[in-house]
A and B are shown apart, each in its own frame.
Chain A
Amino acid sequence: MDFVASLGLILPELILSLTGLVLLLVAAWAGDKASSAISVAGCVALGACFFLVARTVCAGASGPDTVAFFGQFRADAFAGFAKLMIYAASGAALVVAPAFFGRTGQMKAEYPVLILFATVGMSLMVSAGDLLTLYIGLEMNSLSAYVLAAFLRNDSRSSEAGLKYFVLGALASGILLFGMSLTYGFTGTTSFEGIRAAVGDGLNGGTLFGLVFVFAGLAFKISAVPFHMWTPDVYEGAPTPVTAFFASAPKVAAVALATRVAIEAFGSQADAWRQVVIFAALASIVVGALGAIGQSNIKRLLAYSSINNVGFILIGLACATPKGVSALLVYLAIYVAMTVGSFVAVLMMRAEDGTPIEGIADLAGLSRTRPALAWCLAMLMFSLAGIPPLFGFWGKFVVFQAAVQANLVALAAIGIAASVIGAFYYIKIVKIMFFDEPADTIRGKSDWAHWALLAISAIVVSPLGYLLTAWLGKLADGAAAALFLLA
């Protein structure tokens, strides 16, 4: 594998990095006036990368041709599938930002640049073939994310969110790094391939410790219980476009990363980590569902909802089969559509003067004052609850199908029974919007970009989404096969 071929494989990352650097210079000279132009440029770069990656995903790229830099980096279909979701979610985060920040004149030119750098980090994460690539990608994403969380400088909640995220994120990175060092110490290598070879005939105590610590660090990043405590606070405090970003793109990246570590590096020892994953999955489902019930802020509610969803995603990982990974990817894709849609709807909750509204009580009677918004949000809520015929059901369906096929029937039964608890708070939102008397505080107008994003996600979660299942399933199967081919 020569250098040129390697550079070709990281072309999307190169494009994003260079665009980010150039736009950073533009931002430095042109100032905040240029922020919208920079956002557009960022979107274009993301779109270009999207189409570049889409090719490899459709072709189901796998095997040695996709390994760049001597195993450090993998541009296979699995990474590609995750990248498509990441780029789409990042693009959405760029689209919704100007209206939110612009109202108070806080739209800084750094915002799109930071999103781009975070995206580069996430791209590296999902393509990592080595613990060090993994760590670099993770930190690159995290550092941008800390700044983004605190982006509203004169809002104390935003600063608090940034600080909390930073302190706890640093702790998690420390745990992860400790786990990685143990793994390195006991296996003598940082490459996933090497680790797999080293643990092929059983784990020794030290590697097991390393594995547990690595998983703990990753659990923090995907906000799986018991490492979820930061999520509601950060989601609530961060500016809403940033929250939408946190709930979608980095989550995809972290889940894909965790999957790659689990399958590629420790795939032969699935029994060792499966119990950890099963515990985290069930705990996330239950805690996410119970925690959400008492919330009065919609962003906090969606934070718990994302914890809940991670639980279902982890059930797919617990299968440790190609079918399970494919189900996980399908779930992630639907989850991204639902999350972006929900947060766009939250962004559209504005008072007459444009002030954002986040209280769940303010949604009261929305179906009579803003029927279109209310119906879209209701569809998203039923979809998140996993009620057919909405598309959210399909995500849960494939995950549980994979679990049953992997003989984890008990896990599937407990998980799906616990999902009923979660259904309660989703239908509570519908109840507030449809059954209660109108509060009529949400009156602000929204621009076409918001409506377009909301409409796209509403169409995806509508029963029409089922027409995508065959195609989505094929892509996800190809991506999962690519991952298992390497493993």
Chain B
Amino acid sequence: MEGLPILSLMLLVPMVGAAACLFSGDKAARAIALAATLINLALGIALWVNFDIGGPQWQFTERAPIFAGFSWALGIDGIALMLIVLSVFLMPICILASASIDKRVGEYMAAFLFMETLMIGVFAAQDLYLFYIFFEAGLIPMYLIIGIWGGQNRIYAAYKFFLYTLLGSVLMLIAMLWMVNEAGTTDIPTLMAYDFPVKAQTWLWLAFFASFAVKMPMWPVHTWLPDAHVQAPTAGSVILAGVLLKMGGYGFIRFSLPMFPEASSQLMWVIFALSMIAVVVTSLIALVQHDMKKLIAYSSVAHMAIVTVGLFSFNVQGLEGSMIVMLSHGLVSGALFLCVGVIYDRLHTREIDRYGGLAINMPKYALFFMLFTMASIGLPGTSGFVGEFLSLAGIYQVSSWVAFVCTTGIILGAAYMLYLYRRIAFGEQKNADAAAMPDLSWREWLMLGPIAAAVLWMGVYPESFLAPMRADIQALDARLARAAPEGDARLTINKTAPAKAAAEPAAHEGAH
């Protein structure tokens, strides 16, 4: 693989596929899209296999100064690697899930493939401006996907998605311009080691926060998400939940934390406050939803809040936990949206009350749905457990109150997911049409099976996923050490219960 510009190739394949889809008929477009995403999956696996764990931090680097002021610089570390693998893993599944799309298939597939290029670009970019271009360009395909193939309220949802995220990111652009002016380079690895003046950091951090918080999404700027999710087609929701939301978390871990450690520690309370509110409030909102997709969308907001608290816990457990939650949530929420899509394709409604007792006529479906429900709750043995446990263990070292509030989110999560599952899969078959639905087809097996395997793999042996990221997270932890919050949170813990604070983290550390 030496010398082969594999990352550029991964960007090129879907690009070419998108162009081809635009000019071909329905059937051909589906085949082209599937082929392009499978090629990219193969390339992604090659990337993972060839990634040298313990080798240099940045691998597969490419650099071509072909633009004014910035360059075509690509390269990945373990964190980016895992997110790229997640993206290329979900893409063929999304294409398979789009079988029910029957209007303008060529354009649809083109939009998805273009989206894939941009997602990989975001994670692979090593140039600040190149990152911004990829990051922002995602607006165009998502706007079209929601607006053309979405549900009834699609236009409102598309506008909301577009304008919210645009406003968030333009401020980040100004911050980037300032940073480059100050540091004199656009190279992300260099910037990650550059010490910006502490005073400026606050402003820069806030500008980046404006963008990432919207993308993440954090409470209270999360309102675009339920609208966009509900209105997007199934595959759109999968990509949105599975990968696009991760861009926010990736932004925090790649930019906010290493570039502005002092500001991160000063403003950590903002993250904590918003995340605690998000965990509780959106979980409660999810409890009362009648629309399946909305419920899962709100649960995404709650899970992302666990990610943010973990990221800002300034220790290895928290960071590793957040990464695993992101990967796990990408798989699980994607799978849950696919599960919704499966029954939506049959009955064309997302109303929870229209279903019931599906375990009787769709036992295989009910089994998959059960697995993903449990993974979403965080049952041991599934991917959700590993991530949430590590995140909460990490945050507990910083503030027991934040850990306490966020843990209630797990309990509430169990409540709304089990309640959802009971209403859909158990009970009597009160609707004749829902009772007559056939079980999974082979296509749906192909979609859900691999995700289920990945979820169990990550739950039973997370080391495979943690190993590539370990060195990078340790490097980040070392970078953050000088700003790590020794102060208030820890002091109060020590004052109120000194014995507990000393014993608990040690106990947690022994536990995994």
Contacts and interface: CB of A to CB of B under 8 A. Distances in A.
B148 A412 contact: no
A430 B181 CA distance: 35
Given A423-B162, A434-B144, A434-B148, A387 B139 contact: yes
Contact of A388 (B68, B107, B137, B154): B137
A471 to B, nearest CB: 8
Nearest to A382: B140
B132 A413 contact: no
A320 B68 CA distance: 21
B255 interface: no
Given A409-B178, A413-B174, A423 B163 contact: yes
A389 B141 CA distance: 11
Contact of B162 (A401, A427, A472, A474): A427
A405 B181 contact: yes
Nearest to A436: B155
B335 to A, nearest CB: 29
A388 B162 contact: no
Contacts of B45: none
Given A389-B133, A404-B177, A473-B68, A435 B170 contact: no
Interface in A355-414: 367-368, 382, 387-389, 393, 397-398, 400-401, 404-405, 409, 412-413
Interface string B97-115: 0000000100100000000
A413 B204 CA distance: 12
Contact of A412 (B143, B155, B163, B177): B177
Given A388-B133, A420-B167, A412 B68 contact: no
Contacts of A419: 170
Contact of A466 (B67, B147, B178): B67
B177 A435 contact: no
A197 interface: no
A293 to B, nearest CB: 12
B159 interface: yes
A434 B107 CA distance: 11
B68 A470 contact: yes
B202 to A, nearest CB: 14
Nearest to B147: A435
A446 interface: no
Contact of A431 (B67, B159, B170, B178): B159
Interface string B153-187: 01100110011001100110110011001000000
B496 to A, nearest CB: 42
A417 B140 contact: no
Contacts of B166: 387, 420, 423
A435 B158 contact: yes
A405 B183 CA distance: 12
B477 interface: no
A6 B69 CA distance: 37
A398 B155 CA distance: 32
Contacts of B177: 400-401, 404-405, 412
A393 B137 CA distance: 10
Most buried by B among A401, A409, A424, A470: A401
A467 B137 CA distance: 17
A15 interface: no
B155 A431 contact: yes
Contacts of B134: 388-389
A469 interface: yes
A345 B154 CA distance: 27
A393 B162 CA distance: 16
Given A435-B148, A472-B68, A400 B136 contact: no
B140 A400 contact: no
A435 B146 CA distance: 10
A431 B134 CA distance: 22
A41 to B, nearest CB: 37
Contacts of A393: 133, 136
Contacts of B68: 469-470, 472-474
A423 B139 CA distance: 12
Contacts of B158: 431, 435
A239 B69 CA distance: 40
A387 B174 contact: no
Nearest to A420: B167
Nearest to A471: B68
Nearest to B149: A435
Nearest to A416: B170
A389 B163 CA distance: 17
Nearest to B117: A389
Most buried by B among A388, A397, A401, A404: A388
B49 interface: no
A466 B134 CA distance: 13
A435 B154 contact: yes
Interface string A458-480: 00000000110110111000000
Nearest to B143: A427
Most buried by A among B68, B132, B147: B68
B322 to A, nearest CB: 28
A401 B67 CA distance: 15
B66 interface: yes
A332 B60 CA distance: 38
A409 B143 CA distance: 30
Contacts of B148: 434-435
A417 B66 CA distance: 29
Contact of B163 (A398, A424, A474): A424
B147 A434 contact: yes
A147 to B, nearest CB: 40
Nearest to B170: A416
Interface in B29-59: none
B172 to A, nearest CB: 10
Contacts of B167: 417, 420
A400 B174 contact: yes
A474 B67 CA distance: 11
A400 B162 contact: no
B342 to A, nearest CB: 26
Given A388-B137, A423-B166, A424-B159, A469 B67 contact: yes
B66 to A, nearest CB: 7
A387 B140 contact: yes
Contacts of B136: 387-388, 393
Interface in A118-173: none
A86 to B, nearest CB: 23
Contact of A417 (B147, B154, B170): B170
29 contacts: A387-B137, A387-B140, A393-B133, A397-B129, A400-B173, A400-B174, A404-B178, A404-B181, A412-B174, A416-B173, A417-B170, A417-B171, A420-B166, A423-B166, A427-B162, A430-B144, A431-B155, A431-B159, A435-B147, A435-B148, A435-B154, A435-B155, A435-B158, A467-B66, A469-B67, A469-B69, A470-B68, A472-B68, A473-B68
Given A401-B69, A470-B66, 15 more contacts: A367-B107, A388-B132, A388-B134, A388-B137, A404-B177, A404-B178, A413-B174, A417-B171, A420-B170, A431-B155, A431-B159, A434-B148, A435-B148, A469-B67, A473-B69
> Which 8 A/B pairs are nearest by Cβ-Cβ distance?
A473-B68, A469-B68, A388-B133, A404-B177, A416-B170, A435-B147, A389-B137, A470-B68
